[in-house]
Amino acid sequence: MKKKNEQKGINIYWVYGAIAIFFIGIQFFNSFSSSTEKITKNEFLNEFLNENEVEKVVIVNNEFVEVYIKESKLNKEKHKGVHQIGPHYYFNITSGEQFEEDLKEFYITNKSIESYNQINVDVEIRKDIFGDMLGWIIPLAIMLMIWIYIMRRMSGGGASGGGIFNIGKSKAELFDKNTNEKTTFKDVAGLEGAKEEVKEIVDFLKNPKKYTSLGGKIPKGVLLVGPPGTGKTLLAKAVAGEAQVPFFSLSGSDFVEMFVGVGASRVRDLFKTAKSKSPSIIFIDEIDAIGRSRGKNQITGANDERENTLNQLLTEMDGFGTNHHVIVIAATNRADVLDKALVRAGRFDRQIYVDLPELSERKAIFKVHTNDLKINKKLDLDFLAKQTPGFSGADIANLCNEAALTAARKNKKMISREDFLEAVDRIVGGVERKNKLMTIEERKIIAYHEAGHAIVSWMLEHAAPLVKVTIVPRGKSLGAAWYLPDERQITRIEQMLDEMCATLGGRAAEEIIFNKVSTGALNDLEKVSKQAKAMVLIYGFNKKIGNVTYYDSSGQETFFNKPYSEDTAKTIDQEIKKIIEEEYVRAKKILKKYKKRLEELANLLLNKEVIFREDLEKVLGKRQWIAVEKININKFRKK
Ligand code: ATP
């Protein structure tokens, strides 16, 4: 369809082009169709005038002179090529006056020419109406073409679009019975709670009486909130596939245009169309593009257009009663920035939180996305789900695709567990860079650094269990220790401290073995500093600071208005440093105790480059933690 439209657009421009070429062609033809021969002024004076062959001359437009030859002389050999009817020749001049001066001078110098033989000189001003017209028609036509082109682009309709007059119309895509939207709730894995709620919306629209008979009201809006890639759009698409009612889908940014009032007009148009097709659903993706809190940028006024759009949305959502049966579903990653008026009950009555998937949900998502893949029958989806904590649905979809590509690269017939693991590494750590240049000394430092992490985490009760350790450079990192963190909802002090201690194990190992430290621990230090800062400033884990948090969930706290005094700032600094130093000392203590095993593990790493949990067990024995290194968490408790 689009192709056809584009074709039509091209045709219009062909027509414009053909008209322009036609006009230019006529002009071109006109100027060359005359049979008058061109000569020079000297030829005219010496060969024609001197020979007394000229009947008369006409100075035209002060630009050229037309020469008429006497009839009696036309049969001469040199005039053979010219027509019988004059003008027979022409030549260009700089000005008519100058030509007459030249003529006079010629008569004076050539006394042989009798006065009665002197020729008549006429002057004519001729109007080239056609040429004059072309002079303004062509620029006008070009301007017209440019204007039409811009208008078409602005209306977003391409060559066949509805023109500038459609700019205020909503850009919503309509899915109804006739469209082939095949997504159903089966395609959405996990998200049971969210699915239940949106299924109810579908039911509201299909059987409104069931709900309204008891006096209840059908909700007007549902807000899907959650991190990127968790399946909000997918859920909405499934509603479209299942509801069997018209479903208008568009993104918040589709309302925004550079013209004032367009956004509001599009909102009005969208609701008008949706109401006319009621019962129906409107889906607005990324609603934060228009729904951000109003009034924060009063000085610049830059937000006026967005605010108008939002106001119109608020008005429209108020405007339709429950009998209209139009439900608005919106999705956002940032519910916190939305205007309070938008999320109040009565507009978006329901907020559905779509969180990152848990273990069982990840397994279900793997199931959906491996359905069409040629996977090894032995592939354990539980194992894959365990390996991917923190992955969103979109990440898992990407991982499955990446695994398929990895297997294809190796010309395999089936996708196996290794391909999935390689894809995890690639997604989390970046592309492998085996040929990165490194000195032997550098490799040794990296091996000890990673072995340090491995040993310390192995010996601590609350540190996350290790999955594998590698010294193959990937992305920006030169080596890595991969952990499998618990999926916990709350974290206790001892868990944070053990994790910090394991993170500092890398630098501690470098110091113990080489008696020097390197820049390789930058990421570790950043992570540990953030954790220590959070313990003191956010979670109230520090005895000296007490049960105080300086965290502001509204995000209005700035660098300039620190909520604590200078004295407290000093204490905060000291306490953060103290926590980190204590953990560093603890890590060193563990490594000194197991120095032999540290060396053994580092050598194993240098040989094999990648070692797994099983290899660690061989070197370190079954995982067990030692009482000596347990921390005295009482020191964090207030007396
Ligand atoms: P964003 O907030 O960035 O727009 P989103 O939450 O709308 O993200 P989707 O666009 O719905 O995320 O998800 C992207 C892709 O991830 C989907 O097309 C689908 O392939 C996959 N996906 C996400 N969640 C799930 C799920 N629960 N089940 C199956 N596939 C999922």
Which protein residue's CA is at the shortest distance from atom 5 of ligand 1?
A: 229
Closest CA relative to residue 220, chosen from 157, 313, 95: 313
What is the residue-averaged pLDDT of the chain? 80
- Ligand 1, residue 286: give the atom nearest the CA: 4
**Mean pLDDT, to the nearest integer, of 549-571?**
76
Q: Is 399 exposed, middle or buried (0-12, 13-18, 19+ CB in 10 A)?
A: buried
The lowest-confidence range among 241-255, 405-419, 421-435, 546-560 is 546-560
Residue nearest to atom 3 of ligand 1 (CA): 228
168-353 folds as: Rossmann fold (3.40.50)
Q: What is the pLDDT of residue 355?
A: 86
Beta bridge partners of 225: 332, 353
Distance 477 CA to ligand 1 centre (A): 29
Active site residue 450: yes
b/e 557-594 (16+ beta carbons within 10 angstroms → b): eeeeeeeeeeeeeeebeebbeebbebbbebbbebbeeb
- Whole-number pLDDT of residue 394: 92
From residue 238, how far is each of 195, 204, 284, 292, 350 by CA, in Å? 9, 16, 14, 27, 18
What is the C-alpha to C-alpha distance for residues 334 and 444, in angstroms, rounded to an integer? 45
Q: What is the pLDDT of residues 156-205, one digit of tens each?
A: 544 444 445 555 566 667 776 666 667 888 888 888 888 888 888 888 87
Domain locations along the chain: 37-126, 168-353, 359-429, 440-636
Residue-wise pLDDT for 285-294, tens only, equals 888 888 777 6
Residue nearest to atom 15 of ligand 1 (CA): 394
Q: What is the pLDDT of residue 341?
A: 83
pLDDT at residue 535 is higher than 80: yes
- Facing residues of 247 across strands? 175, 281
Query: 394 C-alpha vs ligand 1 centroid, how far in Å?
Result: 5
> Which residue of the set 66, 257, 422, 450 is catalytic?
450
Atom of ligand 1 nearest to the CA of 357: 27
Q: Is 159 helix (H, G, I), strand (E, B) or coil?
A: helix
Confidence of residue 375 (pLDDT cuts 50, 70, 90): confident
- CA–CA distance, 509 with 454 (Å, rounded to integer): 10
Pairing verdict, β 350-353 and 221-225: parallel
Summarised one tens digit per residue, pLDDT across range 120-141 is 888 888 877 777 777 788 889 8
pLDDT at 505: 93
Pair type for strands 89-92 and 221-225:
unpaired
Phi, psi of 460 (to 5 degrees): -105, 135
Yes or no: say if 66 and 87 are a contact pair by the CB < 8 Å rule.
yes
Please tell me the residue having the least CA distance from ligand 1 atom 10.
233
Confidence of residue 262 (pLDDT cuts 50, 70, 90): confident
Tens of pLDDT, residue by residue over 39-76, are: 898 888 888 888 888 888 999 888 899 999 888 888 88
Top CATH class of 440-636 equals mainly alpha
Residue nearest (by alpha carbon) to ligand 1 atom 9: 231
Least confident of 153-167, 284-298, 616-630: 153-167
pLDDT per residue as tens digits for the range 492-528: 888 899 999 999 999 999 999 998 888 888 889 999 9
Bridge partner list, 65: 59, 91
Does residue 574 carry a pLDDT above 90?
Answer: yes
Give how far the C-alpha of residue 592 lies from the chain's centroid of Cα atoms, to the nearest Å: 50
Pocket test for ligand 1, best of 183, 195, 233, 402 (most atoms within 8 A of CB): 233
Looking at 3.40.1690.20, 3.10.450.240, 3.40.50.970, 1.10.150.80, the CATH number of the domain 37-126 comes to: 3.40.1690.20
The reported pLDDT for the residue numbered 179 is 67
Banded pLDDT at 83 (limits 50, 70, 90): confident
pLDDT for position 531: 93
Query: Is 50 exceeded by the pLDDT of residue 2?
Result: no
For domain 359-429, the question of CATH label 1.10.8.60 is answered with: yes
* Closest atom of ligand 1 to CA, residue 364: 28
pLDDT per residue as tens digits for the range 3-40? 444 444 455 566 666 776 776 666 555 554 556 888 89
What's the CA-to-centroid distance between 230 and ligand 1, angstroms? 5
| Distance, CA of 503 to CA of 346 (rounded, Å) | 49
| Length reported for the chain | 639
Centroid of ligand 1 to alpha carbon of 399 (angstroms) = 13
Ligand 1: which of 230, 232, 332 to mutate, most ligand atoms within 8 Å of CB? 230
With a Cβ cut-off of 6 Å, ligand 1 is lined by 188-191, 226, 228-234, 331, 333, 365, 368, 393-394, 397
Percentage of the residues of the chain whose pLDDT score is greater than 70: 81
Lowest mean pLDDT among 93-97, 172-176, 543-547, 568-572: 172-176
Q: In the prediction, which pLDDT does 506 show?
A: 93
DSSP 113-139: S-GGGPPEEEEE----HHHHHHHHHHH
Which of 272-276, 584-588, 623-627 has the highest mean predicted lDDT (pLDDT)? 584-588
pLDDT for position 639: 38
Over residues 150-154, the mean pLDDT reads 70
Q: Which residue has the higher pLDDT, 563 or 503?
A: 503
Atom of ligand 1 nearest to the CA of 237: 11
227 CA → ligand 1 middle, Å: 10
Whole-angstrom distance, CA of residue 316 vs CA of residue 189: 34
Ligand 1, atom 16, lies closest to the CA of 394
Identify the bridge partners of residue 222 per DSSP, sorted by sequence position: 329, 350
Atom of ligand 1 nearest to the CA of 361: 27
* pLDDT for 549 beyond 90: no
Residues 6+ apart with CB under 8 A from 359: 385, 386, 389, 487
For residue 193, give the nearest of 345, 359, 351, 393 by alpha carbon: 351
> With 70 as the cut, is the pLDDT of residue 117 above it?
no
Distance from residue 228's CA to the centre of ligand 1 (Å)? 8
Ligand 1 centre to CA of 219 (Å) is: 25
